[in-house]
Structure 1
Amino acid sequence: VENDAEVNILEEQLEIDLNNTFSKRNWENNEISDWKSDIDLK
């Protein structure tokens, strides 16, 4: 039973890490597209 609880905690941590990675990547993509549109405007 203890092992199951540890596995659940690890899985939750992995999901959180993945979500953070994806949101960071999305943020970077938004930054890049903003930067590109700035260049297009000039």
Structure 2
Amino acid sequence: MRRIRRSIGEYINLYNGKRPHSSLADQTPDEAHFGTVRAINSGA
């Protein structure tokens, strides 16, 4: 069970943090989300 959870976690990290998405202008979901948060917090 640990191996399965670790594998799923690794896939989620790959999907959200390393794999660019064409629907997000070739950004990763993390870049799209956290970039927006940074822009809002900085007053941009």
Q: Same fold (TM over 0.5)?
A: no
Indicate the structure (1 or 2) with the bigger Cα radius of gyration.
1
Select the structure that is richer in helix: 1
Structure 1-normalised TM-score? Answer: 0.44
Q: Which has the higher contact order (CA 8 A, sep 6+)?
A: 2
